[in-house]
Structure 1
Amino acid sequence: MDFLLNIEQSVSGKQWVQRPFDERMAMTLSQRLEVSELTGRVMSSRGVALDEAASFLNPTLRDLLPDPNHFKGMSEAVSCLCDAIQNEELIAIFGDYDVDGATSSALLRRFLNGVGAKSTIYIPDRLEEGYGPNSAAMDTLKAQGVSTVVTVDCGTTSFEPLAHAASIGLKVIVVDHHEAEVKLPDCAAVINPKRLDEDGRYAHLAAVGVTFVFCVGVNRALREVEWFVEGRKEPDLRHLLDLVALGTVCDVVPLTGLNRAFVIQGLKIMARRGNAGLAALADVAGVNETPEAYHAGFVIGPRVNAGGRVGESYLGANLLSTDNPAMAAEIAAQLDGYNKDRKELEQHVLDEAIAQVDGEEHSSVVMAVGQDWHPGVIGIVASRLKERYSLPACVISMSDGVGHGSGRSVTGVDLGTNIIAARQSGLLVKGGGHAMAAGFTVEEGKLDEFKAFLADRIGSQIEEQDIQPTYKCDGAISPSAVTPALVEELEQVGPFGSGNAQPRFVLSNVNVQRADVVGKDHVRCFLSDEFGVRLKAIAFRALDSELGQALLQHNGRKLHIAGRLKLDTWGGGTSVQLLIDDAAWV
């Protein structure tokens, strides 16, 4: 393996690797699109071919949105919902409690309102009910006069609850994107791009994307039966794309193809502030600039999620579906408060987890166990531990002799498969997941055996595959070459996220100047090259890390600094700042 600048071990223990790219393609893209060679290289490394370069930079739904009937189960689902609308039945939307579920629920509610249908939203309580449909909830909806239920972001494997729903006369449509089995639930229809009889072309869609396509199909069917007469106005579905963008970004699905179009076009709609709930969230979060994928994923999304994590699960969906500015402001303030609570809970659990595992020998998996840790934050803490130790991490909250756990993995280790193997070996009450994330329940008496089982299996996999922590970069660049124009050009390759990684660069042989601590644990500094050109830089949450200490205690020694370039408009001007990820000694 070729290491960038021959860095086999950075201060955080990572190998620096250049993202592979086609040099000829990079040059051709640069010339055809009239962009810098650096931008051409970034596009080439992400697999952008010459014939798709223009549509990559400016994707449109007209070109990328499939005919709804491409999906199995669509015609049955459309027919069922159209009947419910025309018969003026009460329709229930049963959603998940995360952002994808909240946006899917709100999108469908807004669409149904737009076509004159009656609907209600049901979001299960995370702690009391757990994920997905349950029989008691179906009974509740039936008692409320509901005749048709649409599950969004859940339902594909809810066999018993949906069989119960059918037995009490509820028609259920499943709109989902989670892994499917050979068997499908007993219901009116299942729309899921991951059905085993699908071709897989749209398996990367978030549930909110599938829900949007479903609404397109229903809208078309209503138009064909001349529903939009007698004062009924056909809704403009493009106005719902802000919700599609938010859910797509927050569910961390690949931002390629149709998803890329959803996010780019949806962020434009979000900027118009037509959704009262999104506008209220932007206000409480202090988002005054044009929204970007970053704001959706790291500013607005966590506040929507906070209700499901530490508050009332239904708040996010209610906020995103209301047109009442006063109600929106009230719910946004509640969610902002819950998000602050979530941060405090997260920090408390993280501090206890680090105190427990720091100093231990970790060769395969990091595992922290605590009494009554809030289950709404253990997944986030597992992610933090994974980042800190560059190893798979599991966090378990024990209560009454039973532990509820959440795990996050690193590239190369399929955590979900290992958790399923532990369950099949009788070590877990239940458990499952996918390659990068998993959830499980373990009895206290099996905890030590489970730890040993996981450490042994993952340790063998890491050893066999020679998995090393790596940091992938797009090349080296000097501070004198960094300009606002270059950063603006690179941002055209966005939105960045899963499947389209944000460009990362190394500033080689730089001097670190005026390093100090800001906030609780951030380290800021200036980086200068041999020409004396300086660039502002900051390393977030780095004070207690090897990275932070290298920046603060460099003693005049030069460093290679790796990170992401960001425009800084603080104070009215425009400059560039480097968000530092890692460093290595020259």
Structure 2
Amino acid sequence: MIDKRWIHHPEFTPDEQRIVEELAESLKVTPALASLLVRRGILNFEQSRNFFRPDLSQIHDPFLMKDMDLAVERLTKAISNGEKILIYGDYDVDGTTSVALFYGFLKKIYANLDYYIPDRYEEGYGVSWQSIDWAEQNGFSLIVTLDCGIKSLDKVELAATKGIDFIICDHHRPGNILPAAAAVLDPKREDCPYPYKELTGCGVGFKLLQAFCIQHDIDLESLYQYLDLLVVSIASDIVPITGENRILAYYGLKRLNDSPRTGIKALIQVAGITGTLDITNVVFGLGPRINAAGRIKHAKEAVALLLSEIDEEAQEFAMEINKHNSERRNFDTSITEQALFMIESDSWSATAKSTVLFKEDWHKGVIGIVASRCIEKYHRPTIILTQSHGKAAGSARSVPGFDVYEAIEECADLLEQYGGHTFAAGLTMPLQNLEAFKSRFNEIVSSRILPDQLVPMINIDMLLHLEEISPKFYNILRQMGPFGPGNMTPMFESTYVTLAGKPSLMKEKHIKFDVKQGSSQVYTAVGFGMAHFYPDISMGRPFSICYCLEENNFRDKKTLQLSLKDIKLH
């Protein structure tokens, strides 16, 4: 079990402390809550109001995005001329929600369109050669890509010779040359002045439709009905929930909880999710199921579910996708076991600064998940590869602070294809380049990664005495959501706490105990996967805990409890 680093914020400067006090006074909140806001860059009453009361009027003008005017113009021309439009999305959650949102909205006002999702195994990531042929054979003259296309220079070039234009909506990092499309929408373009850079692919597609609505005086409320799809992409793609994403996620969750579309409602039911949905529910409950369609069979099933408007049909799709998810979990478990065994049984792998593993019969649909599982045990950049069409194809995942995309980019001469962003990427190479790639990738990682980045860390927002916790404190805390990257659930540390009763084990993996600090109220603490702490804390000595606050609802009785993330013994 790797020891975790507890990272504390530096002490407030006198000026910052003054801001905390002023904010506590103006908002009538405790200094602890004001401190949390200041740590998030909320420094005055006006910023606090915008933070606690996000409003869709605060989202950016879509025409600030480079090429947006060209994209709206080309889309408008296609509709005016009755052209066949193909909506093209990647096979993951971001891609499938993008297609469901864009196609679902446009279909209400224009009939001559269809959608296309590439087969993960036959066509691979991004715009495929097969899709260009299919579009030509079926008379399409405009393709709108969502969550892909920024590196499809050769495919866009070929399509142009067949009389097919592209509008590219992507959020991945572009290469040095952009595709020669009718419009390229990507906030990460170096020449794009758009003020928010962290939209998902679905978010970029949403901005195009927002611009289209503005241009044609279409009521934006008709577009906002699709925010439940957008929040699923924001949560599942693990993008920062800050700025514009936070506003869109806030209203997306509202719609998801108040009036989810038929397909998502069916998925919530089969996933067994009860209570209020938050970002975590979406990430672990809905996202994997939507993803499973493309991993196990074909992602078109996921789009069909998300577009479904008939309860019985949606229920059937949801059951089928849930079955795929169970299969995915079985693959995931067995391949993770094999991968961890390969690391542990090889002396070089056990001490390397990176992990690169290849096995020809691993299921391509779960290798990204396996990479993440390996990082949970060996905290270092990880690439898991399998054989696909005679090549080594795989997924990379990283650790906080290390740019795995850049490291892969430096091995570009050994690769046939690669793409992604800082913490996740995909790549394909000839089998004969595997050993050279493994060696060079590890050299690059070893020369750049800092020792601290190889140790998992917990960012602690503040020291909190258990006496400071109250229902009012928690109620204000909850309003600081939606929580996610960039606005994480506040993490607290309480020192020298003591047991208030005997701890218990749950399923031999998890620990549960009552705890107090001095004369504070007693709180129940639960630590999942933390049974190894049982012998030490049972000895009765004081210890420190880091935790998030949560509400436990048992038999209609709500109580506050501590969700443990780590324990340090004194």
Q: TM-score, normalised by structure 1?
A: 0.88
2: CA distance, partners of 1:463 / 1:320: 43
Q: Deviations over 1:393-438 (max 9, x none)?
A: 23233578753332222233222222222333x4x45445433223
Look up the SS of the partner of 1:150 in the other structure: strand
Aligned partner of 2:180 in structure 1 is 186
Give yes or no for the alignment of 1:271 onto 2:271.
Answer: no
Select the residue among 526, 529, 553 that pairs with 1:538.
526
Select the residue among 188, 194, 198 that pairs with 2:192.
198
Select the residue among 448, 451, 457 that pairs with 2:444.
457
Q: Which moved more, 1:448-457 or 1:405-414?
A: 448-457
| Aligned-pair CA distance for 1:445 | 4.8
Contact between 1:112 and 1:118, CA under 8 Å: does it hold in 2?
A: no
Contact between 1:419 and 1:433, CA under 8 Å: does it hold in 2?
A: no
1: CA distance, partners of 2:244 / 2:453: 35
Look up the SS of the partner of 1:320 in the other structure: helix
| Aligned-pair CA distance for 1:307 | 1.0
Give yes or no for the alignment of 1:481 onto 2:468.
Answer: yes
1: CA distance, partners of 2:480 / 2:368: 30
Residue 141 to residue 389, structure 1, CA distance change in 2 (3 Å): same
Give yes or no for the alignment of 1:491 onto 2:478.
Answer: yes
| Aligned-pair CA distance for 1:553 | 4.4
Aligned partner of 1:125 in structure 2 is 119
Contact between 1:85 and 1:117, CA under 8 Å: does it hold in 2?
A: no
Look up the SS of the partner of 2:228 in the other structure: helix
Look up the SS of the partner of 2:239 in the other structure: coil
Aligned partner of 2:76 in structure 1 is 82
Look up the SS of the partner of 2:121 in the other structure: coil
* Partner AA of 1:380 in structure 2: I
2: CA distance, partners of 1:389 / 1:219: 48
Residue 400 to residue 234, structure 1, CA distance change in 2 (3 Å): closer
Q: Deviations over 1:7-66 (max 9, x none)?
A: xxxx74222121345333233222222223222111111222214221111121212231
Give yes or no for the alignment of 1:14 onto 2:38.
Answer: no
Look up the SS of the partner of 2:555 in the other structure: helix
2: CA distance, partners of 1:41 / 1:418: 37
Residue 199 to residue 75, structure 1, CA distance change in 2 (3 Å): closer
1: CA distance, partners of 2:399 / 2:451: 15
Residue 59 to residue 399, structure 1, CA distance change in 2 (3 Å): closer
Aligned partner of 1:163 in structure 2 is 157
| Aligned-pair CA distance for 1:190 | 1.6
* Partner AA of 1:243 in structure 2: L
2: CA distance, partners of 1:447 / 1:137: 29
Select the residue among 207, 210, 219 that pairs with 1:213.
207
Residue 434 to residue 76, structure 1, CA distance change in 2 (3 Å): closer
* Partner AA of 1:499 in structure 2: G
| Aligned-pair CA distance for 1:382 | 1.4
Contact between 1:114 and 1:234, CA under 8 Å: does it hold in 2?
A: no
Give yes or no for the alignment of 1:521 onto 2:509.
Answer: yes
Contact between 2:402 and 2:453, CA under 8 Å: does it hold in 1?
A: no
Contact between 1:368 and 1:396, CA under 8 Å: does it hold in 2?
A: yes
Unaligned runs of 5+ in 2: none
Aligned-pair Cα RMSD in Å: 2.6
Q: Among all aligned residue pairs of Structure 1 and Structure 2, give the percentage whose two residues are the same amino acid.
A: 32
Q: TM-score, normalised by structure 2?
A: 0.91
1: CA distance, partners of 2:440 / 2:495: 43
Length, aligned pairs only: 560
Aligned partner of 1:364 in structure 2 is 353
Residue 171 to residue 276, structure 1, CA distance change in 2 (3 Å): same
1: CA distance, partners of 2:225 / 2:163: 34
* Partner AA of 1:54 in structure 2: R
Residue 144 to residue 525, structure 1, CA distance change in 2 (3 Å): farther
Q: Deviations over 1:496-517 (max 9, x none)?
A: 1111122111232223554444
Residue 54 to residue 456, structure 1, CA distance change in 2 (3 Å): same
Residue 559 to residue 464, structure 1, CA distance change in 2 (3 Å): closer
| Aligned-pair CA distance for 1:519 | 4.4
Aligned partner of 2:550 in structure 1 is 566
2: CA distance, partners of 1:280 / 1:142: 36
| Aligned-pair CA distance for 1:105 | 0.7
| Aligned-pair CA distance for 1:350 | 1.6
Residue 236 to residue 445, structure 1, CA distance change in 2 (3 Å): closer
2: CA distance, partners of 1:235 / 1:496: 25
Unaligned runs of 5+ in 1: 1-10
Contact between 2:505 and 2:512, CA under 8 Å: does it hold in 1?
A: yes
Aligned partner of 2:402 in structure 1 is 413
Aligned partner of 1:306 in structure 2 is 292
Contact between 2:96 and 2:299, CA under 8 Å: does it hold in 1?
A: no
Give yes or no for the alignment of 1:330 onto 2:316.
Answer: yes
1: CA distance, partners of 2:463 / 2:75: 55
2: CA distance, partners of 1:212 / 1:431: 26
2: CA distance, partners of 1:532 / 1:369: 53
Aligned partner of 1:583 in structure 2 is 567
Give yes or no for the alignment of 1:35 onto 2:21.
Answer: no
Select the residue among 268, 274, 293 that pairs with 2:279.
293
